[in-house]
Amino acid sequence: MPDSFVVLYKALVRSHLEHAVSVWNPHHQLLIEKLEKVQKRATKLVIAVKTFKYEDRLKYMDLLTLKYRRIRGDMMQVYKIFTGKYDPTVTSWFTIRHIERKF
């Protein structure tokens, strides 16, 4: 049961919560909590882990918090920009400067 729930949740719910998150990433704590509340409620639907703490439910279902996934996605985008994975015309507004530090 938890396996099929996780597959359905990832496909039908989380995909909507994370759509274009690199563009509209919430920074206000209230918005972050509202998004996370959706996942908290969804994980309570699995009867086997309904009484577990949120973090334990996530471990049991092999899920990550939405906040963690947003941060990880941001890090991936920065890596792609720094390593030239994007078309230079798209990232032309972004320049990298090397600053030499003197101690």
The answer, as to whether pTM is greater than 0.85, is no
* DSSP letters for the chain: -HHHHHHHIIIIIIHHHTTTHHHH---SHHHHHHHHHHHHHHHTTSGGGTTS-HHHHHHHHT---HHHHHHHHHHHHHHHHHTT-S-TTTSTT----------
Residue-level pLDDT, tens digit, the chain, 103 residues: 568 999 999 999 999 888 887 777 888 889 889 989 999 999 999 999 999 999 999 999 999 999 999 999 889 988 988 888 888 787 777 776 777 777 6
Could you tell me which residues come within 8 angstroms of residue 63 by beta carbon, excluding any fewer than 6 positions away? 6, 9, 39, 43, 57
